[in-house]
Amino acid sequence: MSWSPVGGLRNSGSLFALALDVMRALFRRPFQAREFIQQAWFIASVTILPTALVSIPFGAVIALQIGSLTRQLGAQSFSGAASVLAVLREASPIVTALLIAGAGGSAICADLGARKIREEIDAMEVLGINPVHRLVVPRVLASMVVAALLNGLVSVVGIGGGYFFNVILQDGTPGAYLASFTMLAQLPDLYVAELKAVAFGAIAAIVASYKGLNAKGGPKGVGDAVNQSVVITFMLLFVVNFVMTAAYFQLVPQRG
């Protein structure tokens, strides 16, 4: 498929327009509670186990790297605080976003794409039913809620895995590891991590919905839309993560 700057700008504008439509439809009644519950359960069912399994090596790698570095610098007492900050601020939201986009987002895109090529979306519009309000909004809200919950799961599992590898494998001091939590970490770190997870969940669902609603070319077109949605979501997530992290460091004083 050929790409042109004009087509890229057009698609970016259409994606942004869909995001605005979703924001406006969030407060429109009736709220699709049943669809929201079904989508939240589905997204959680396909992401909880992979997220927990991925967060363990993430926490382990961070703990091993930081433990080795602090030992070289003679600052072993800060290994716990550094590990917690790395997991809480960056690893947890990123892992959550990748799993939400890779598992939940691809499922959302495939579902809406299949409805599009079967002309169900067109039939809804003919009947006067807004597909954004009926289908997209519940999926976006479900993705945001599940992302916030998964971020907490990743934080707990990642910090627990980091503690195990730092204390058991690297002969760290349990008391020093736990006591150093409050030396550098603070509650706003948790708040911004949850905010990142919610934003990443919304982005993943909106991009997946956009690609699904614009799928063309039969089943092959749906498969292409799924692949494109995952790639676009990953690119947007890293850009948004950089912007939110930079803004956080400017707005919230850091402990030192």
Q: How far is CA 148 from CA 37, 56, 100, in A?
A: 15, 18, 11
Mean pLDDT of 131-152: 90
pLDDT digits (tens, 9 = 90+) for 49-76: 888 888 877 777 777 777 777 777 766 6
pLDDT higher than 70, residue 172:
no
pLDDT higher than 90, residue 255:
no
| pLDDT given at position 189 | 81
Mean pLDDT of 175-199: 79
**Lowest mean pLDDT segment, chosen from 104-118, 152-166, 172-186:** 172-186
pLDDT higher than 50, residue 1:
no
Say what the pTM is: 0.85
pLDDT higher than 70, residue 195:
yes
